[in-house]
Amino acid sequence: MSIESSDDKPVRDQVACDVCGSMIGRLQGYQLTTLQVVRSPRFWRDYYERHKGEFVAMGIASYDDLRRSPKQAEVAQTIAGDETPWRVCEQCIELFDVDRERAEIQFFVKGPQC
């Protein structure tokens, strides 16, 4: 489903959370910088669990092994290469120590409320 934007191009009503892939409303969720994402230990633990099969196949059998492995730096470099903001759902925002009010998409749409 799409709506029309002001320049008559279709706009999706939903976008995928960049952490878990679940769909969230276009004006819902949170927006984080790549730096906020890669600095979060909880994000890395979650990332390991979501990709565990791939890591185990590489001989990285645990999250602690990932932390000691050069692979974490490789993945972090790949993630850091994407300069676009991260869209994060309500469930995944729990992985990050951020000011939720400032990270909320509505903050960017409406601006700070005084």
Residue 69 exposed, middle or buried by CB count within 10 Å (0-12, 13-18, 19+): middle
The answer on 44 and 79 residing in a single domain is: yes
Round to whole Å and give the CA distance between 57 and 51: 10
- Whether the pTM exceeds 0.85: the reply is no
Beta pairing, strands 86-88 & 2-4: unpaired
The answer on 89 and 79 residing in a single domain is: no
The answer on 18 and 44 residing in a single domain is: no
Round to whole Å and give the CA distance between 98 and 101: 9
The answer on 75 and 49 residing in a single domain is: yes
The answer on 25 and 53 residing in a single domain is: no
The answer on 78 and 48 residing in a single domain is: yes
The answer on 103 and 91 residing in a single domain is: yes
Please choose, from the candidates 20, 43, 25, 19, the residue with its C-alpha nearest in 3D space to the C-alpha of residue 104: 25
Given a cut of 50, is residue 1 above it in pLDDT?
A: no
What is the rounded average pLDDT for all residues in the chain? 84
Q: pLDDT digit string (tens) for 12-46?
A: 689 999 999 999 998 899 999 998 999 999 999 99
Greatest distance between any 2 Cα atoms in the chain = 52
Number of domains into which the chain is organized: 2
Structure tokens at 64: 């602690």
The answer on 58 and 44 residing in a single domain is: yes
Q: pLDDT digit string (tens) for 76-93?
A: 899 888 888 999 999 999
The answer on 94 and 67 residing in a single domain is: no
The answer on 62 and 27 residing in a single domain is: no
Given a cut of 60, is residue 11 above it in pLDDT?
A: no
The answer on 75 and 53 residing in a single domain is: yes
The answer on 89 and 66 residing in a single domain is: no
Query: For residue 46, what are the domain limits?
Result: 40-83
